[in-house]
Amino acid sequence: MESRKRLAKTVLVFVCIFAVCWLPNHIIYLYRSYHYSEVDTSVLHFITSLCARILAFANSCINPFALYLLSKSFRKQFNHQLRCCKGRALIRSQSMGRSTTRMASLKSTNQSMVTFSFINGNHLCHEGTV
């Protein structure tokens, strides 16, 4: 029951974000459709139209941040992927000296593969599907 409430809250937040981001753009289009014969060349109309369009396109940029704040599982997986990428960047920045590498692969029933690498004592994990 608790997961349904969280899901309903998440969906409601996304619907509200969508409405707030796209409503000004639709209002301007509605205004233009009823005043089709008049061309509004004022600076205020231009700036309002530009801001409404930017806000509408910003909706796509806002969604991942909202999902990160609302979903614990998304946040956990995102942070996990971020840590793995950070580990890869450390390995790339190390000198090309001689190192010892051990790798182990695990396969599970859902056809995913996890590879653990130990390079110079640093632990990395790489996930992928097969």
Q: What is the pLDDT of residues 41-77, one digit of tens each?
A: 889 989 999 999 999 999 999 999 999 999 888 999 9
CB-based burial of residue 117 (10 Å sphere; 0-12 exposed, 13-18 middle, 19+ buried)? middle
Statement to judge: residues 94 and 114 lie in one domain: yes
Tell me the whole-structure pTM to 2 decimals.
Answer: 0.56
What end-to-end distance do the CA atoms of the chain give, in Å? 35
Statement to judge: residues 7 and 66 lie in one domain: yes
Computed from CA positions of residues 69, 74, 76, 80, in that sequence, does the dihedral angle turn out positive or negative?
negative
Statement to judge: residues 50 and 27 lie in one domain: yes
CB 112 within 8 A of CB 120: no
Task: Tell which of 55, 70, 85 closes a domain.
Answer: 70
Task: Tell which of 30, 46, 70 closes a domain.
Answer: 70
pLDDT digits (tens, 9 = 90+) for 106-119: 454 555 455 444 45
